Amino acid sequence: MASFEDFKFNKQILNAITEAGYTIPTEIQQKAITPILAGQDVMGIAQTGTGKTAAFVLPMLMKLKYAQGNDPRALILSPTRELAMQIEEQIKLFSTYLDLRTVLLYGGLGPKTQKEQLAKGCDIIVATPGRFLDLYLEGDINVKSLKFLVLDEADKMMDMGFIGKIHRVLEIVPRKRQNLLFSATMSELVRKIAGDFLAFPTVIEVTEQATPAQTVTQELYHVPNLKTKINLLQHLFKDDETFSRIIVFCKTKVVADRIYSFLERKYGPDEVRVIHANKGQNTRINSINAFKDGEVRILVATDVAARGLDVSQVSHVINFDVPIVIEDYVHRIGRTGRAFQTGDAITFCNPAEEYYVAKIEKLIRQSIPVKELPEDVFVEKTPFDEKQAIDREIDNQKKKDNPDFKGAFHEKKYAPKTNNAKKSTRGKAKSFNKGNSKPGKKR
């Protein structure tokens, strides 16, 4: 299909698509839009950054057409606030010339404003599962008119433990509805929820599951410790023309804050922002918007931002830590190389993280090219505590794969001494006392 006009969208939607700068449908859009317009249940599996959101938003807008009544006719569920906000932005973008009303619902903020918006009437709800159920149970949402139910990033929902809430939603929505499920990967839990959720779906898999976007170049550096990782980061960022817009992903909030503090001292507060679960919702929104608008060059983030962060022209994704949830690797690196653009994903790996790199390579069915550390990067000596932590983690990994493995931190090293050892110790003590008894008597 050569253009969006081939889908028979109305003039209002086509004008919005043109103004948004979209010209050629992506593969997932080409394959998903027609069956969705035909009323089919659809399960779509595609790489992140390939236009999944537009693939379900555009046909949904076409079928809803105009505002009608007070109760929602479409519900889109998302695992994170950031992704929910991104979906709402896409709906606003494509419904510029339609009078459809959209309400965004997520936790972290008081529900008063959201309740007021619902009371005014809406056609589409974009929500995280928890906040949607809270407001439904309080009587603020009537689901009797729902015609569409969409699960976006279904695998992340399962990873985050939303399966119970999703089943609760399925119990309360009308049985007669069109269901759409989209994801970048397909785990066993997703297959299970798909079986409960979809009726004879059209399955669209535009790439093999968990395949990184072909527009992303991947690189791997073996780095011995945290300080050397920071030195490598500093070395790469010297080339500010190439590294023009960067997301640095960290495993924990503590590491993210440390990296942010270092980069802020190095490049100034106007060049870098940090987002993670401990940051207030407004802070996170402002940081993401500043990064999107090109006001800041570097965004440091935990996996809270790995999905749903749609920023054009991200030049590089840096995996400062290798993700433990290996599926998150695909989503992290999918923040670059989006919508026909190219990008680079660079991963720093210490000895304890090699275990997860091997699993990631098995998941994506390809090897990540390894690069030598540049000569200019000073390799720090690994501090004792960090060395112990790395060795202990490697032991734990080996025990996972082989429960009989006895490692460097095997508990027998710290077991109490045997009775024989105690006896011999007592014997030495007695002989020592005997040897010193004469001098004692002389005193």
401 domain residue, yes or no:
no
Are residues 43 and 75 both part of a single domain?
yes
Record the pTM. 0.62
Asked if residue 236 and residue 143 are part of one domain, the reply reads: no
Q: How far is CA 243 from the centre of its chain?
A: 22
Q: 427 or 401, which is more confident?
A: 401
pLDDT at 423: 46
207, two tokens? 């790439």
Residue 230 domain flag: yes
Give the contacts of 440 (CB within 8 A, at least 6 positions apart). Answer: none
Do 40 and 144 lie in one domain? The reply is yes
Confidence of residue 288 (pLDDT cuts 50, 70, 90): confident
Same domain membership, residue 245 and residue 162: no
- For 27-78, the pLDDT digits (tens) are 889 999 999 999 999 999 876 667 889 999 999 999 998 999 999 999 999 9
pLDDT at 142: 96
Q: What percent of the chain has pLDDT over 90?
A: 52
Amino acid in position 81: R
Which pLDDT does position 173 carry in this prediction?
93
Write down the mean pLDDT value for the chain: 85
* Last residue of one domain, picked from the residues 205, 231, 250: 205
> Are residue 157 and residue 34 in the same domain, yes or no?
yes
Higher pLDDT, 179 or 441: 179
**Is residue 222 located within the same domain as residue 155?**
no
Distance in angstroms (rounded) separating the CA atoms of residues 329 and 381: 28
Residue 96 domain flag: yes
Length of the chain in terms of residues written:
443
Whether residue 421 has pLDDT greater than 90: no
Predicted confidence at residue 440, as pLDDT, reads 46
Mark which of 172, 205, 238 sits at the end of a domain: 205
Total Cβ atoms within 10 A of residue 21: 9
pLDDT tens, residue by residue, 130-149: 999 999 999 999 999 999 99
Which domain covers residue 336, as residue numbers?
Answer: 216-382
Q: Is residue 398 part of a domain?
A: no
Instruction: Tell me the C-alpha distance between 330 and 342, whole Å.
Output: 15
- Note the pLDDT tens digit of each residue in 369-381: 999 999 999 999 9
* Residue 443 resides in a domain: no
Write down the pLDDT at residue 340: 62
Rounded mean pLDDT, 12-37: 91
Domain edge (last residue) among 156, 186, 205: 205
Span 114-124, pLDDT tens digits: 999 999 999 99
**Taking a C-beta distance cutoff of 8 angstroms, is the pair 320, 249 a contact?**
yes
What integer pLDDT is reported at residue 38 of this predicted model? 93
222 and 201 belong to one structural domain? no
The total number of structural domains in the chain stands at 2
For residue 364, the model assigns a pLDDT of: 85
Instruction: Give the separation between CA 407 and CA 82, rounded to whole angstroms.
Output: 42
> Are residues 30 and 92 part of one domain?
yes
Residue 377 lies in a domain: yes
Reported as a pLDDT band with limits 50, 70 and 90, residue 437 is very low
Most confident of 239-243, 250-254, 267-271, 346-350: 346-350
Residue 106: band (very low, low, confident or very high) from pLDDT cuts 50, 70, 90: very high
Q: How far is CA 397 from CA 89, 159, 388, in A?
A: 42, 21, 14
Is residue 260 one of the residues assigned to a domain? yes
Q: Select the more confidently predicted residue: 363 or 379.
A: 379
CATH assignment at residue 138: 3.40.50.300
> Looking at the domain assignment, is residue 427 inside a domain?
no
Percent of the chain with pLDDT over 70: 87
Judge if 198 and 220 occupy the same domain.
no
Task: Please indicate, yes or no, whether residues 166 and 52 belong to a single structural domain of this protein.
Answer: yes
- The residues that bridge with 222 in the sheet, in sequence order, are 349
Same-domain check for residues 173 and 228: no
Q: pLDDT (tens digit, 9 = 90+) per residue, 177-224?
A: 999 998 877 777 778 888 888 878 898 987 655 556 677 899 999 999
Evaluate if residue 285 carries a pLDDT over 60.
yes
Can you tell me which residue has the tokens 């479409």? 74
Same-domain pairing of 197 and 231: no
Rounded to a whole number, what is the distance in angstroms from the first to the last CA of the chain? Answer: 107
Give residue 368's pLDDT: 94
